[in-house]
Amino acid sequence: MELFRVSTTLDHKRLDVVLSSHPKISSRAEAQRLIQAGVVQINDSREKVSPKKIVRMGDIVTFELLPLPVSTVVPVPFDLDIPYEDPYLLVVNKPKGVVVHPAAGHTTDTLVNYLLHHSKLSGKDPTRPGIVHRIDKDTSGLLVIAKDNATHDHLAKQFFEHSIRRVYYAIVWGVPKQSSGVIDQPLGRHPKNRKKFTIREGGKRALTRWKMVKPYRYLSLIQCELETGRTHQIRVHLSSIGHPLLGDSVYGSFKHYAEKFSLELKSVLKAYGGQALHAKSLGFIHPHSEEWIECHSDLPEGMTVAISALEDAFG
């Protein structure tokens, strides 16, 4: 039996949200499965609880980990870019345009499908085996993947404690007045559009450190390091300070001053589908050797083509 006390940051949250924050529970879906199985209790009460139940700061949540059903995700051949691998985990360089795990409309063309063809994966969540963290479909770059449940738990704890080092490169609109900065603004779902996230009071703490790599008059190459890893964090944070990502149709746009660009440059930039964001570096403590592992990846072709065009125009 596992137990934990509800912290201030989880006060007045749904039980499934609170439970999924525990490092031994890989997703909200797994939290809901445990709640519905009747193995979750609040303050030792024998009353069956709902995933929607609101918990309070100081409540004691106890739960029992159950055997997981066998994954039904289909392995699919794919040529993966794997900069690091051992018997316990691997680091994969996800291509832009690939969804991380199966969801509506994507059942056989996801990173999980491709990984299962390559290796056995942890079974913490049968719908997304091996997946400890995610990046957006149109974001490229590095992800660490667990091959067994003990490794998964150890890595999840590092993410929960924000001790993982994650560095991203982004092409953004405009040139910041400062050469670096910190954005410490809480994020939550948009009140009107549930597919979007926004800065809002009562949201989850989110902190992004950024610094200029190179300005290009109307755009900039920015490095971001995440202390937290909220959904759409970099996209929302950079947009909030007036520098949305190139190609981000959700939180940005093709800026009007792009009319000053040559037809060739405008064509290159408009051809970049999806946000210009790449998870370039990833560092963590190996769950078994306790060594620090750090991997790096080159920028994807689309970003290098855009940067080359900007260098030619403004470099």
Is 172 within 8 Å of 243 (Cβ atoms)? yes
Is 136 one of the catalytic residues? yes
Distance of CA 310 to the CA centre of its chain: 28
Strand partners, 2: 63
What does the CA dihedral 13, 18, 21, 27 come to, rounded to 10 degrees? -100
Q: Which spans in the chain are helix H?
A: 15-20, 28-36, 111-118, 149-160, 233-240, 263-270, 301-314
CA 47 to chain centre: 35
Give which of 29, 57, 293, 7 is closest to 158, Cα–Cα: 293
Active-site entry in 11, 44, 109, 136: 136
Q: φ and ψ at 159, to 5 degrees?
A: -65, -40
Between CA 44 and CA 220 the distance in angstroms is 54
> Which helix (H) or strand (E) element contains residue 160?
helix 149-160
d(CA 159, CA 121): 18
Instruction: State both tokens at 199.
Output: 């800065």
Catalytic sites, residue numbers: 136
